[in-house]
Amino acid sequence: MAGSNPAPKARRTPQALHDSVLAEARRAGLFDGEKTEHVSFRAPPALVEAARRETGVNSTTELGILALAMLARPDPVAAFFRRTEGVLGPDHALEY
């Protein structure tokens, strides 16, 4: 029957993902205050070019801010591993 299948989910564009990451960082207060911290480093050109290609971001400053915002995001899987490290459920038996 025509029209009975739901439309496929739209894929998030890289720009939508970047906007989401930056908005999350803003909500977390990571953009509050003045821009006083200076970050400067040398990177391999191939790494920078690959990051630009993947993100579509050409400005080195914006690329750095996006990278920092992505690194600052909490990782729920890592948090789970830290919280449950060394803990097994009551039904687990270790056999040697």
Cut 0.85: pTM above it: no
**20-49 pLDDT per residue, tens:** 999 999 999 999 999 899 999 999 999 999
**43-54 pLDDT per residue, tens:** 999 999 999 999
Diameter of the chain measured on Cα atoms: 61
